[in-house]
Amino acid sequence: MTDDIIDIRHLTKVFHTDNGDVEALHDVTLNFPRGGFTSIIGPSGCGKSTLLRIIGGLDTDYDGEALMDGQPIPGPGRDKGFVFQDHRLLPWLSVRENIRFALPPEHKKDDELIQSNIDLVGLTGFEDALPKQLSGGMSQRVAIARALANRPKILLLDEPFGALDAITKIKLQDQLLRIWQSEHITMVIVTHDIDEAVYLGQTVVVMKPHPGEIKRVEHIDLGWPRQRIGEAFNTAKDSIYQEFFATN
Ligand SMILES: Nc1ncnc2c1ncn2[C@@H]1O[C@H](COP(=O)(O)OP(=O)(O)O)[C@@H](O)[C@H]1O
Ligand SMILES: [Mg+2]
């Protein structure tokens, strides 16, 4: 039996707006294995962010069930880390203080914990830098360190590398994989980049266009470390590519 950390059952989400109801997710049933790396891919507006927000407890108004460790997700908490496309760092605080700011009161003075997370994302030496002194990639690494410092059970990443250049993106993907392998945290990444979905995910969830439904859940049968080129990777990518653009 697989051990799932997240269990989503018949999840439907409707936004009630002044212009009428918008169904963002329709009858989604999905599991995320504990310690796994899952990619969610789908066209813009298909409900990826909505799904991630519900898993993260940022949205608790829906029909169906969203369970973590078998219990309904009551709201946001330190067991769930979030990384968004924009780093959301406080501009007046240094790298070190941005991470400290996110820690619970009992850990605020734990300089070792802060340093270990700065080291984990490869930013040793930049502790005192302000966000404006960092590149986009470095800022995203701080955002990852900040999320990890709370030792979440699950890290939820919503297009975290979407605004980065191709080379920086590749470096951060590799760093994220190293962190996943060393820290054993369940990772879920939302992306609209097929390469990224296949390179990172043990499983790729392909969503249909709006309203969001699951089109297919594909296991990526490639080991680690993965090669970004070559036949095996291209075959896996082709199959996701075909799913992504298939009309049914
Ligand atoms: N707060 C909101 N109010 C109304 N509609 C929303 C809200 N958030 C998202 N939606 C709608 O729900 C659908 C899914 O949005 P989203 O989850 O952001 O998609 P994605 O992340 O895949 O681009 C879209 O049609 C979007 O317009
Ligand atoms: Mg989104």
Strand pairing report for 80-83 and 154-158: parallel
Q: Which ligand is nearest to the CA of 44?
A: 1
Pocket probe mutation, ligand 1, options 11, 13, 14, 15, max atoms within 8 Å of Cβ: 15
Residue nearest to atom 12 of ligand 1 (CA): 24
CB atoms within 10 A of CB 111: 11
pLDDT at residue 210, rounded to an integer: 79
Strand pairing report for 4-17 and 20-33: antiparallel
173 lines ligand 1 (CB under 6 A): no
Q: Which CATH superfamily is domain 4-238 in?
A: P-loop containing nucleotide triphosphate hydrolases (3.40.50.300)
Distance between CA 7 and CA 46 in Å, rounded? 20
Digits of tens for pLDDT over the chain (248 positions)?
Answer: 569 999 999 999 999 999 999 999 999 999 999 999 999 999 999 999 999 999 999 999 999 999 999 999 999 999 999 999 999 999 999 999 999 999 999 999 999 999 999 999 999 999 999 999 999 999 999 999 999 999 999 999 999 999 999 999 999 999 999 999 999 999 999 998 999 999 999 999 999 987 889 999 999 999 888 999 999 999 999 999 998 887 76
Distance between CA 107 and CA 130 in Å, rounded? 22
Residue nearest to atom 8 of ligand 1 (CA): 50
pLDDT at residue 230, rounded to an integer: 92
pLDDT at residue 248, rounded to an integer: 61
Domain limits, the chain: 4-238
Q: Which ligand 1 atom is nearest residue 44's CA?
A: 23
Residue nearest to atom 2 of ligand 1 (CA): 15
